[in-house]
Structure 1
């Protein structure tokens, strides 16, 4: 009976730990109220890295522009998050002279172009198409990386939208762009040891981003902090899984000892045997 009680205790303890881990993961994946999809977003875009318009995750952004313009937005992405950027370009209704190819690029705080894991980053719009939609899902942002690596690191991420190929006669035609970026927490499976001294937020401190003197009013060269501040990899649910595994291993060892050691009393040998 004692062995059975020990095993039951181990099972219940393990179930409690994994339930706690699942709750932590669920809380992590729950979007914050401030990141509501209904939040009003900016209605203009920057024309360079320095004048990029700051947006928040899940905040829609729109801008009117001319075909051939470079449009820039910037948002904060923290360690352990995977960002997905989607853009839609509404093309002019006036007659166009041919197809146009649009491209969506994402750069990190060091202005290194980041590769997309998947998504239509470049797409051609036919001559009579009314719109074109692009998307890019980045790799999970790491809290630390080797200097020679091109891994995405926490900080500002710049979104650039522009046309890369079209007939010369179509330059300057009016277009309307819509951009939305979302971030998802990937959990401790992607966590690494180490952390940056500060997130990569060019031209500003990590506490209060400020625009430089050449930045027009209402725009900023760096993204604001994420809701709740920068984590920089200080905490991940990998700690919960490690602790749960260690406790379950200890309980399994105790249960195995109870099963193999027997009753603990020497058997009686009849006299004269």
Structure 2
């Protein structure tokens, strides 16, 4: 039993060390500080105050920023932002409508999100299409995408790291209201999903097209910001438990195989 206690203590100490190291790596994307780069300085740029009118002219912004634009009812408004693997993004949009006296009826607005290959990505939940009555002052829309994967089969439609386009437009309104001035605002919230949604495989390069007019800045911690995943902790814990089970089983087997000692003089 002394051997069992010694092995158990060693395994538990190794697990604690591995967990502490993993936490440190997760908090620090790289082992040494990175030198300043143009992308880091670009991260302080203000959010755009105008939108593009196509995929090619989409205005670039980052998660956490609020991009705004003045437009006319009937315009297609485009923005683009970078989303990395293991991230789940929620895009929100708000349209401030003209005064009710200037409008002739209700309108319907729609928010769509496309990946770097211009494939429309489905919303897992959210209000993607909203109808606004004539008296409504504004319209709020939102769309939460699936967690971005690090790789996928060629035939799959899974979201991959890279550029994500946001398109906002009106899909139904009285013809007399076309061209009325509106104001739009979009923002994106990103949550790290971690090992619960982590998958194996890797993408050779993010899906960032070269046709974006505004230079698209990579995420602050780089694309696929580190090899660490909390799946390592569960793997290490499983190994420790398997080792303990093996030692315990060996001890039981060894104890049951010892010959019975007959007392002398019996």
TM-score range relative to shorter protein: 0.7 to 0.9
What TM-score, normalized to structure 2? 0.82
Maintained 8 Å contact 1:24/1:237:
no
What TM-score, normalized to structure 1? 0.80
Change (3 A) 1:227 1:177: same
Task: Specify every segment of 5 or more residues in structure 2 that has no aligned partner in the other structure, as ranges.
Answer: 30-39
Task: Give the alignment of 1:1-273 within 5 angstroms.
Answer: 2=2, 3-4=4-5, 6-7=7-8, 14=15, 40-95=46-101, 96-203=103-210, 211=212, 215=213, 219-220=214-215, 223-231=216-224, 234-262=227-255, 266-271=259-264, 273=266
Deviation at 1:62, TM superposition (A): 0.9
- Match in the other structure for 1:208: none
What SS does structure 2 have at the residue aligned with 1:177?
A: strand
**CA deviations over 1:92-144 (Å, ceiling 9, x no partner):** 12422111111000000000000000000111111101111100000111111
Change (3 A) 1:118 1:26: farther
How far apart in 2 are the matches of 1:101 and 1:233? 42
Maintained 8 Å contact 2:15/2:236:
no
- Match in the other structure for 1:207: none
Task: Specify every segment of 5 or more residues in structure 1 that has no aligned partner in the other structure, as ranges.
Answer: 29-33, 205-210
- Count of matched residue positions in the alignment of Structure 1 and Structure 2: 251
**CA deviations over 1:26-80 (Å, ceiling 9, x no partner):** 779xxxxx8xxx9842111111100100001111111111111111110011111
How far apart in 2 are the matches of 1:25 and 1:232? 9
How far apart in 1 are the matches of 2:84 and 2:167? 19
